[in-house]
Structure 1
Amino acid sequence: MSAPRNDELIHSGSDAVVDWLTNGTRDQRFIDNIFAEMCIRLQQAGIPLKRSTLHVMIQHPQWLGARIMWSDGMREAEITRVDFDVRGRSEYIGSPANEMFDGATEVRENLERDPALGRKHALYDEMRAKGLTDYVAWPLYHTLGKRHLVTFSTDRPGGFDDAHVAALRKVLPVLALVSEIRVKNRLARTLLETYVGAHAGELILAGATRRGTGTTVRAAIMICDLRDFTKISDNWPRDDVIDLLNDYFDAMSEPIARHGGEILKFIGDGLLAIFPLHEPNACANLLRAVAEAREAMVALNERNKATSRAPLNYGIGVHVGDVMYGNIGSTSRLDFTVIGPAVNMASRLEALTKQIGKPVLLSRDFAELVTPEFELERVGQHAVRGFSEPIELFAFQG
């Protein structure tokens, strides 16, 4: 019996990679790990793979997509985020990705030939400089015609031969299925993190979707509201109002996230955030977030002043107590939020900032949990709508 030919070995090796993609990746959550191992297995199957990339489009508020890159010798792939404005930059214009997303079904480039005879793009020059000899890119089709991109490169003299290309083509349909599942899982997490927050998103993915279910959480509650927004929205152009709100929410939200708070919702020009007390230094972290947010608002107002916009004013109410954290809503539309008297109190304190003339008001219950490093100003007892007894309040300057 004669020994199997090299192309037969490559054929059987690629079959083994397809079988692994189909049956051996069920417990692997992340596509970058699967992609790196797939490339290593393709090498072991006799394909002279030196570099490979997977480009996926994602629905994310900050990023258009991501590039996953593997190179020879890497055990893990490298992930790079891609900005929304990439399509206007030279790195994209005329690139294989540009050709692919314009409808090409294959981009193949012989990197050994005279560069003057080939495609013109910096990417090909970079690959030649690294000693690569051949490059091939194909679309990766997901459901409903969504196109992504996968590329393979080699440094083998003469490039990929027909058996190598056939073996690589063979893995594409299964890689498309495996990647779509992981990309959509990541998309689900991203959308939930974007719209309900990271912690609530994890709970929902874990099955907390039944109406009326929830847990009692002891937390510091922060409610913030922009002043005179109705007047602004009536008098400013629509796009300016949207930009203003985004800048305002950036100033308020980023410090909250940085210090461990969770923003549960934006309510028009307001926001609701909690700092669960089971986390260390929750109350101190809330005040640190408020102090940084106030600094960010000062900087924002300076920028607005330079464009002749009026300064933005706001009020923040802070309380602490037990809240019900879970699903509230109708049979077909739920909101994952917190409710309870403690939330109502924080809302009432935010409203009192207008009357008292202090932009940040804290309840005594919250103030008693704050360490001496923070200077609080006692502003006396005040009647709070909906509560029978006056509440002692404190102001925080930050």
Structure 2
Amino acid sequence: MNVPTSINPPTMSDGVVDWLTNGTRDERFIDNIFAEMCIRLQQAGIPLKRSTFHVLIHHPQWLGARFMWADGMREAEIALVDFDVRERSEYIGSPANEMQNGATELRENLERNAALGRKHALYDEMRSKGLTDYAAWPLYHTLGKRHLITFATDRPGGFDDSHIAALKRVLPVLALVSEIRIKNRLARTLLETYVGSHASELILAGATRRGTGTTVRAAILICDLRDFTRISDNWPRDDVIDLLNDYFDAMSEPIAKHGGEILKFIGDGLLAIFPLHEPDACANLLRAVTEARQAMTALNARNNGTGRAPLNYGIGVHVGDVMYGNIGSSSRLDFTVIGPAVNMASRLEALTKQLGRTVLLSRAFAELVEPQFELEHVGQHEVRGFSDPIELFAYHG
């Protein structure tokens, strides 16, 4: 009588596999799951001393992230990896490099003479820490995406066959568990990148129906670059893109630092709000403007050194109630703010050129920051689309 053999014979990591499958559904973050998995592998009898998990991510600033766990750690150490890493010695010839080039397994005996092994600073570093064996495999996600998982031990003789079998048993389940968390994080990152942190939270919480929204009282800032049509017509395309990115960095970073939310970039302009339910919102808007003007002055000084003309811009600021929510067609929505207060801020930005001021504020806004900030009264002026003249102030901070 033939007794069928088990397709997946028992391994030391079976309990870890069961935990990954059934015990992680309430854990949101993959770094916490990874660290707990390493601890459980140790408790199962696998002599794990160090492990890393490398993932590629879709982020405007970072190529990927590395989670690192070592014996005695309760949480994984997280390091972000920039896009230039592939040109540096720390990457060239590394396990990550080999995996991206198609390797399906790496195993390095760290006890033997270094001259006989793979040549990379990482292996020398692990030897210096007393590690004896190193194993690495790709972690496969859907649509051919490959990430990297590594394990190292300080056990004399390294991992034995049962240890390797147990580690391999974990990989497919970890791939499923990690892909769900990474894609959740990716969705959040992409939304934060394209619509802002607050709007992204509302969208992820279910605010996706057209016409839904809330009324928010906020300070509104609209900024626009001067003479951009001339610049874009006469400059090389790549120079125009670099210019816009530098300009938006100068403007955006102070806004985010002081609690504002950029809702959209409109060509060479931007729209941001500072909700008044946040303490000191109007003062924070002017602090952001001060730092943005300083950053633009520094940018113009750098551009002057390369023969480029200085960049000029105008900023309009108003305060009022806005409708904050989903506007658009049945299949394509924009999460933004609308209302007369937004229109007023836009009109004030347009008036900056006519009145020769860089920053114009409405009286409604000025009353909320005086006398904390010194403002220049520039009189009453007709504003297109509004029946009564509007009293305006300039800010030179």
TM-score interval (norm. to shorter):
over 0.9
Query: Partner residue of 1:223?
Result: 222
Structure 2 counterpart of 1:59: 58
Amino acid at match of 1:265: K
Determine the C-alpha separation between the residues in 1 that align with 2:197 and 2:78.
21
Which residue of the partner structure matches residue 3 of structure 1? none
1:175 matched residue in structure 2: 174
Gaps of 5+ in 1: 1-9
- In the superposition, the TM-score normalised over structure 1's length comes to 0.97
Structure 2 match to 1:291: 290
Cα shift readout 1:348-388 (whole Å, capped 9, x = no counterpart): 00000011000100000000001422100000000000000
Instruction: Give the equivalent residue in structure 1 for 2:3.
Output: none
| 1:4 matched residue in structure 2 | none
State the distance in 2 between where 1:57 and 1:202 align. 23
Q: Deviations over 1:272-328 (max 9, x none)?
A: 000000000000000000000000000000000000000000000000000000000
Name 2:264's counterpart in structure 1.
265
**For the Cα contact (< 8 Å) 1:11–1:163, is it kept in 2?**
no
> What per-residue deviation string (whole Å, max 9, x for no partner) do you get for residues 27-62 of structure 1?
000000000000000000000000000000000000
Residue 144 (1) aligns with residue 136 (2): no
CA apart distance, 1:11:
4.3
Give 3-state SS (helix, strand or coil) of 2:62's partner.
coil
Distance in 2 between residues matched to 1:216 and 1:358, nearest whole Å: 31
Q: In the alignment, residue 393 of structure 2 is paired with which amino acid?
A: F
Corresponding residue of 2:342: 343
Give the aligned partner of residue 117 of structure 2.
Answer: 118
Match of 2:377, SS state, is strand
Change (3 A) 1:72 1:371: farther
Displacement of 1:12 in angstroms is: 4.9
- The one-letter code matched in structure 2 to 1:94 is G
CA distance in 1, matches of 2:67, 2:180: 16
Deviation of 1:13 after TM superposition, in Å, equals 3.6
Measured in 2, the distance between the counterparts of 1:324 and 1:316 equals 21
CA distance in 2 between partners of 1:11 and 1:283 (Å): 64
Q: Is the 8 A contact 1:284 1:371 kept in 2?
A: no
CA–CA distance in 1 between the matches of 2:285 and 2:131?
Answer: 53
Is 1:384 aligned to 2:395, yes or no?
no
Paired residue type of 1:148: H
Q: CA deviation at 1:144?
A: 0.6
User: Which residue in the other structure is 1:164 paired with?
Assistant: 163
Partner of residue 35, structure 2 = 36
SS across alignment from 2:13: helix
* Residue-by-residue CA offset, 1:112-140 (whole Å, 9 max, x unaligned): 00000000000000000000000000000
8 Å Cα contact 1:225-1:350 kept in structure 2 = yes
Cα-to-partner distance string for 1:215-273 (whole Å, 9 max, x where unaligned): 00000000000000000000000000000000000000000000000000000000000
Measured in 2, the distance between the counterparts of 1:144 and 1:353 equals 51
Structure 1's consecutive aligned runs of 4 or more residues displaced over 6 angstroms after TM superposition are: none
Unaligned runs of 5+ in 2: 1-8
Secondary structure of the structure 2 residue equivalent to 1:210: coil
Q: Distance in 2 between matches of 1:291 and 1:275?
A: 15
What RMSD, in angstroms, separates the aligned Cα atoms of the two structures? Answer: 0.8
* 1:164-313 correspondence runs (5 A): 164-313=163-312
Q: Which residue of structure 1 aligns with residue 322 of structure 2?
A: 323
Aligned to 2:81: 82
How many angstroms apart in 1 are the aligned matches of 2:12 and 2:336? Answer: 52
TM-superposition CA deviations, 1:74-132 (whole Å, max 9, x none): 00000000010100000000000100010000010000000000000000000000000
Cα distance in 1, alignment partners of residues 17 and 94 from structure 2: 29
User: Is 28-37 or 10-19 further displaced after alignment?
Assistant: 10-19
* Aligned residues of 2:11 and 2:165 also touching (Cα < 8 A): no
Q: Report the counterpart of residue 26 of structure 1 in structure 2.
A: 25
Residue 13 of structure 2 corresponds to residue 14 of structure 1: yes
Q: Is the 8 A contact 1:325 1:339 kept in 2?
A: yes
TM-score normalised according to structure 2 size:
0.97
Q: Secondary structure at the match of 1:64?
A: strand
